[in-house]
C-alpha cells in the first residue's frame, strides 16, 4: 500500500524522467508539494530491496552501505529510477575489497548461501573456481598486488578470482536464497568501485558530462529519501548507480590540550587515570576554561564544529587473563575460538574479574575527583553492549553526578572487533535490559547477537569504518552536545583514533582517553590493542557543494 493516495499528478509523473520531475517542481509551490508527495510514495528503496530482505534487514543493509560505501548498480538501480519491477533481476552491489568479509558475513547472517562458481567459468589466469567462501575471501589480498600502476587504470587490475568481463574486480561472490529464488552478486574492487564501473560502462566523455548535470538535479529532488544518486550512460548502456548517502567527512586530531597528544605507541604511556585526565592546565578552574575555549571555537568558525570525547576502556575481563596465560599468538590461533579451558571461562561475553572491578572503581574515583574540580556531566554517554564494558560504565559513573542529565545509551557499534573470538560475542538484549535497567538500548538492537560470526572476524579497516560510522552518527545526531563519553574496548578505541588520523595509544584496561575533534566534511581517499589516556582531537565540518 503506498504511503500517500494516488493522484492525477502521479499518473503524469510516472511517465517523466527524474530530471523532468525536478524541473516541474520548480514551477510553483503547489507543483513542489505535489512532487514531494510523489517522491515519498514512488522513490522508496524498500520497494526494490524488499524482494531480497525483510524490513529489519533493509535497515542493516543500509547501515552497511553507510559504513563501507557499498553501492547498488545495474538493474535494481534502474528499477528504482524507472519505478518499475523486473521479476527476474538480481541485486548487484559493489564495495571496496577491504570490506569483503563484512559484506559476506551480512549475507550469511540474513540467510543467503554462498554459491560456488560453476565448472568452466571463464576466470582470468586460473584453472578453476575457489572451493569455498573462505577460500575466495583469502585468495585475493587486501592490497592490490598486480603489476603496473601509474595512470593505467587497469594495470594489475585482474585477479584470478574474478571473471574477465568484470574490469578491475578483485573478487565476485554469488549468494542465493530459495523459495522464492533470489540472487545477490557482490563485486569487490581494490580501487574506487565507482571509478571501475564508470570506466567499464562509459565510453563517451560527452555522455558522462551530460549526466553529471543529472547528478545534481536528481540529487536535489530526492535528497529527502536519504540517497545520493549517480546516473550515467554510454553509447551501448544506460547504467544507473544508487549510492548510500554516507556523510563524507575528514576527521583529524587537534593537539594542544592534553598530555597524551605527544605520546606515540612506542613510548611509555601515562597512568591509566592521570591527574585531570591528562589536561595540561592543572590550575583551579581548568575544566571551565577548557570548555569555554571549546565553546568559543564552535562559535568563531562558521561551518566548523568541535567535540570533546572521553574514551574509556573496560576493566580486566577473564579473556584478558586467558590471553596473558597463553600468549597472544596461541590465543589468536586457538584459545580465543573456544569458550574456556576448564579453569577459566571467557566466552561468550565474559564479565569483569575482581581486578577489573577494582580498576573500574579507580576510574570512578578519577571521575569523582574531576567532577569536584568542575568537569560537568557528559552531554551524552554511550557504551558497548559487551558485559565487561557495561559493568565498567555502571561502576565508573556510580554516585559521580547527583543530577543525572541522561542515561547511558547502549550502541551496538561501540563493541570490540566482531567475530571469531568467543569473548566478543555479546549476550542477549533481554539480559542487558535486565542486568542494566538504568541503561537505554538503541532502537533496532536485536535480541540475539546477529553480527558475530564463528569463522569471520573484522579486519582493522572494517572496524575503523565502523568506528567512523559512530563518529558520524554522534556529529549528526548530537550536534548540540560538545562533551561525549564512550565506554568501549581497546580495539574499538584504536579504530576510533585511526578514523581521526591519530596513532594508536597503549591504553591499559580501566584507562580513559580524552579525544577532541575537528571535523572536515569532504571526500576521503583513502591489531588494535588497548588505547589512549586522554587525547584532544578536533573536527571541521564543511558542507560539500
- For 417, the grid coordinates are 572487533
Q: Which DSSP string do the residues of 209-262 spell out, in sequence order?
A: HHHHHHHHHHHHHTGGGTEEEEEEE-SS-EEEEEEE-----EEEE--SSBGGGG
Q: How far is CA 363 from the centre of its chain?
A: 29
∠ Cα 511 532 350 (to 5°): 50
Tell me the C-alpha distance between 109 and 113, whole Å: 9
Query: What is the three-class DSSP state of 141?
Result: coil
Asked whether 163 and 187 are in contact (CB, 8 A), the reply is no
Q: How many beta carbons lie within 10 A of that of residue 378, not counting itself?
A: 22
Residue 87 burial (CB < 10 Å; 0-12/13-18/19+)?
exposed
Which positions ≥6 away from 358 have C-beta within 8 Å?
315
How many Cα atoms sit within 13 Å of 187 on the Cβ side? 24
Catalytic positions? 314, 416
Asked whether 91 and 52 are in contact (CB, 8 A), the reply is yes
Tell me the C-alpha distance between 540 and 352, whole Å: 38
- Give helix 460-477 / helix 100-109 axis angle, nearest 10°: 80
- Phi-psi bin for 156: left (phi > 0), alpha (psi -120 to 50), beta? left
Asked whether 279 and 290 are in contact (CB, 8 A), the reply is yes
Peptide bond into 348 cis (omega under 30): yes
Amino acid at each position: 500500500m503506498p504511503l500517500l493516495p494516488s493522484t492525477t499528478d502521479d499518473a503524469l509523473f510516472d511517465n517523466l524522467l527524474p530530471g523532468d520531475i525536478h524541473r516541474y517542481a520548480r514551477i510553483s509551490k503547489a507543483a513542489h508539494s505535489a512532487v514531494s508527495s510523489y517522491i515519498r510514495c514512488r522513490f522508496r528503496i524498500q520497494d526494490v530491496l524488499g524482494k531480497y530482505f525483510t524490513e529489519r534487514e533493509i535497515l542493516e543493509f543500509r547501515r552497511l552501505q553507510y559504513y563501507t560505501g557499498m553501492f547498488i548498480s545495474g538493474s535494481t538501480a534502474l528499477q528504482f529510477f524507472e519505478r518499475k519491477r523486473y521479476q527476474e533481476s538480481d541485486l548487484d552491489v559493489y564495495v571496496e575489497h577491504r570490506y569483503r568479509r563484512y559484506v559476506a558475513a551480512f549475507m550469511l547472517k540474513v540467510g543467503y548461501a554462498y554459491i560456488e562458481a560453476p565448472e568452466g567459468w571463464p576466470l582470468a589466469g586460473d584453472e578453476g573456481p575457489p572451493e569455498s567462501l573462505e577460500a575466495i575471501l583469502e585468495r585475493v589480498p587486501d592490497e592490490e598486488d598486480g603489476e603496473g600502476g601509474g595512470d593505467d587504470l587497469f594495470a594489475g587490475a585482474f585477479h584470478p578470482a574474478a571473471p574477465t568481463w568484470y574490469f578491475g574486480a578483485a573478487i565476485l561472490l554469488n549468494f542465493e536464497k530459495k523459495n522464492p529464488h533470489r540472487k545477490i552478486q557482490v563485486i569487490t574492487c581494490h580501487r574506487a568501485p565507482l571509478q571501475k564501473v564508470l570506466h567499464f560502462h562509459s565510453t563517451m566523455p560527452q555522455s558522462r558530462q551530460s549526466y553529471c548535470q543529472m547528478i545534481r538535479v536528481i540529487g536535489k529532488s530526492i535528497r529527502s529519501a536519504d540517497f545520493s544518486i549517480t546516473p550515467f550512460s554510454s553509447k551501448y548502456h544506460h547504467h544507473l548507480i544508487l549510492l548510500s548517502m554516507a556523510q563524507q567527512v575528514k576527521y583529524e586530531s587537534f593537539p594542544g590540550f592534553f598530555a597524551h597528544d605527544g605520546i606515540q605507541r612506542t613510548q611509555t604511556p601515562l597512568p591509566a587515570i592521570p591527574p585531570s585526565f591528562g589536561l595540561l592546565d592543572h590550575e583551579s578552574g581548568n575544566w571551565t576554561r577548557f570548555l569555554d575555549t571549546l565553546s568559543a571555537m564552535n562559535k568563531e568558525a562558521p561551518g566548523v564544529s568541535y567535540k570533546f570525547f572521553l574514551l574509556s576502556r573496560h576493566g580486566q575481563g577473564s579473556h584478558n587473563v586467558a590471553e596473558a596465560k597463553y600468549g597472544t599468538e596461541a590465543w589468536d590461533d586457538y584459545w580465543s575460538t573456544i569458550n574456556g579451558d576448564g579453569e577459566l571461562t571467557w566466552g561468550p561475553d565474559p564479565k569483569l574479574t575482581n581486578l577489573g572491578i577494582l580498576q573500574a572503581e579507580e576510574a570512578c574515583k578519577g571521575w569523582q575527583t574531576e567532577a569536584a574540580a568542575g568537569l560537568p556531566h557528559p552531554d551524552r554517554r554511550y557504551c558497548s553492549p559487551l558485559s565487561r564494558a557495561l559493568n565498567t560504565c555502571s561502576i565508573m559513573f556510580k554516585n559521580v553526578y547527583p543530577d543525572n542529565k541522561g542515561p547511558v545509551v547502549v550502541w551496538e557499534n561501540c563493541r570490540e572487533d566482531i567475530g571469531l573470538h568467543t569473548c566478543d560475542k555479546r549476550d542477549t538484549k533481554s539480559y542487558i535490559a535486565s542486568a542494566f535497567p538504568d541503561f537505554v538500548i538503541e532502537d533496532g538492537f536485536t535480541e540475539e547477537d546477529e553480527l558475530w560470526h564463528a569463522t569471520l572476524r573484522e579486519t582493522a579497516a572494517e572496524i575503523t569504518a565502523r568506528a567512523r560510522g559512530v563518529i558520524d552518527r554522534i556529529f549528526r545526531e548530537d550536534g548540540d552536545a560538545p562533551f561525549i563519553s564512550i565506554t568501549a574496548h581497546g580495539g574499538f578505541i584504536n579504530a576510533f583514533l585511526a578514523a581521526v588520523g591519530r596513532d594508536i595509544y597503549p591504553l591499559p584496561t580501566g584507562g580513559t582517553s580524552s579525544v577532541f575533534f575537528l571535523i572536515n566534511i569532504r571526500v576521503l581517499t583513502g591489531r588494535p590493542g588497548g588505547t589512549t589516556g586522554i587525547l584532544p582531537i578536533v573536527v571541521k565540518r564543511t558542507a560539500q557543494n
